[in-house]
Amino acid sequence: MDKTKDGLFTGLMASCAFGLEGVLAAEIRALSMEGVSVSDARVTFSGAMDEAMKANMYLRTADRIYLILSQFPVESFDMLFEGVHALRWAEILSSDAAFPVRAKSVHSRLFSVPDCQAIAKKAIVESLKRTYHSDWFPETGPVYTIDVALLNDIATISLDTSGVGLNRRGYRARTAEAPLRENLAAGLILLSGWRGDKPFLDPFCGSGTITIEAALIGTNIAPGLLRNFAIEGWAQAEPRIWAEEREKAKEGIRCEKPAIYASDIDGDVIGIAKENAARAGVDFIRFLQAPVALVKTEGKRGTIVCNPPYGERTGDMKQVHRACKGLGELFTASGDWTCCALSAFPDFERWFGKQADRKRKLYNGNMRCDYYQYYPNLKKNKTI
């Protein structure tokens, strides 16, 4: 079903962590989607229901996928009410649909989020009343979360098609301390350039997130295969199309397994990581309990992607220094290996022993981090 044609939806938007927009846009283009446009923490593109389903199923770095209903300027609550009220809500929401409203406001005159939320809800209810000739909506049916985002006095009204955030792939029942979000882990791997063609290692694997995401990428397992999405419960969704998409995703899985290694100093977290890998269907990852100082890489070429401790929770700076130094030594001893590390520790490069060849600003939740990338051909230079 393509509702873009009759003007109900104006396109799609994928949200993501700050710093991952470029890699998300590349993923969207790789799905042959058109009209891709990048802005802070979001990528917009053309499409409607079918494309939203695909985006939920295949995008590894997105947080959520939204169907955009409308964009209009807002300088007053009246303008917000009128803009929301003008939409054809009864064509989207059945009389029993649940429609929670989520609002946010950045650099806008209307800054009271609870008021924006209440006004938008009232506008939708008033619009539904007219069509359904009823004063009361039980909201017991399928959930359509309505997103009202104000940015620089422009309101974007959209439907959240994902429901639970896309980082929740469904394989992580237990986590170790300071786990990375699954979609950020996938972003780190895609930024490293690794695509399953060489050995891969995370020597600080914790709950295993980075190596599990690498295993999914390396075997082409769709990140959404294990879970459901809000859009699947909607009246407009066609279960047959979903079933076909899931079958197609399963057919795309590669049998050949890349060599993926995961290690951590803590034996308990290795147990958690193994459970998570088994749940994700990637139990070919080879796990080892060892401090980074004792880890050795195999083979001439490969990629390390990791998230070493940075003392955020434990505050143990000696552990942080040991970890960064050990990682630097592992990189130096590892032939033509690339090494990429996400860290919020400001002295990372000094303890690693080398200045990064490339440094990107990324956010782990609200925490500002740097992604340090070291390439093998530059290994002998830049010792600090």
- Positions touching ligand SAM (CB under 6 A) are 175-176, 178-180, 203-204, 206-207, 209-210, 264-266, 269, 291-292, 307, 309, 319, 322-323, 326
**Tokens 């030594």 — which residue?**
329
Secondary structure (DSSP) of 146-207: EEEEEETTEEEEEEESSSS-TT--S--SS--SSPPPHHHHHHHHHHHT--SSS-EEETT-TT
- Least distance (Å) from ligand SAM to the CB of residue 198? 20
Q: How far is the CB of 383 from ligand SAM (least distance, A)?
A: 22
Measured from the CB atom, the residue of 68 and 210 that comes closer to ligand SAM is 210
Q: Give yes or no for a contact between 337 and 259, defined as CB atoms under 8 angstroms apart.
A: no
- Least separation in angstroms between CB 265 and ligand SAM: 4
CB 16 within 8 A of CB 125: no
Backbone angles phi, psi at 139, to 5 degrees: 55, 45
β-pairing, 145-151 vs 154-160, is antiparallel
Nearer to ligand SAM, 48 or 212 (CB): 212
- Closest contact distance (angstroms) between CB of 95 and ligand SAM is 44
| CB closer to ligand SAM, 28 vs 265 | 265
Measured from the CB atom, the residue of 240 and 313 that comes closer to ligand SAM is: 313
The token duo for 330 is 């592992």
The least CB distance from residue 328 to ligand SAM, in Å, is 12
Residue with smaller CB distance to ligand SAM, 307 or 373: 307
- Listed in sequence order, the DSSP H helices in 166-313 are 182-192, 209-218, 239-251, 267-280
**Residue 322 beta carbon to ligand SAM: minimum distance, rounded to whole angstroms:** 5
Buried b (16+ CB within 10 A) or exposed e, 51-84: bbbbbbbbbbbbbbbbbbbebeebeebebbbebb
Distance CA 284, CA 212 (A): 10
Q: Which is nearer to ligand SAM, 323 or 356 (CB)?
A: 323
